[in-house]
């Protein structure tokens, strides 16, 4: 049986609250891909002017790139740093 649209929205909001809580407690958020275990992402506060959040990608222990975000959540996916952690195959560490 598939979930209703409201159930999907409720799950999304619950997950976002959970992720915001982790960031509030730890000041950072880390996740690893279940599909590609060598791939990890880390959310931190940015040191760049005008940018609030940064998500850095890692292949093993080597950083492979980063994306800058002006919001932790809310707004469009292009503004929303937590959106990268919403994938079903990303496991929070």
- Domain spans of the chain? 5-92
Q: Report pTM.
A: 0.84
Three-class SS of 62-86: EEEEEEEECECCCCCCCCEHHHHHC
- Give how far Cα 61 sits from Cα of 14, 37, 54, 58, 86, Å: 31, 12, 17, 6, 22
Q: Mind listing the pLDDT tens digit of every residue in the chain (93 residues)?
A: 577 899 888 988 898 999 999 999 999 999 999 999 999 999 999 888 888 999 999 999 999 999 999 888 887 777 789 988 988 899 999
């Amino acid at each position: 049986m598939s979930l209703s649209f409201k159930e999907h929205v409720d799950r999304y909001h619950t997950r976002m609250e959970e992720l915001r809580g982790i960031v509030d407690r730890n000041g950072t958020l880390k996740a690893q891909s279940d599909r590609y275990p060598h791939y990890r992402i880390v959310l931190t506060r940015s040191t760049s002017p005008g940018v609030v959040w940064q998500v850095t990608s890692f292949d093993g222990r080597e950083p492979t790139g980063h994306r800058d975000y002006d919001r932790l959540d809310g707004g469009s996916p292009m503004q929303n740093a937590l959106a990268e952690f919403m994938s079903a195959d990303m496991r929070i560490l």
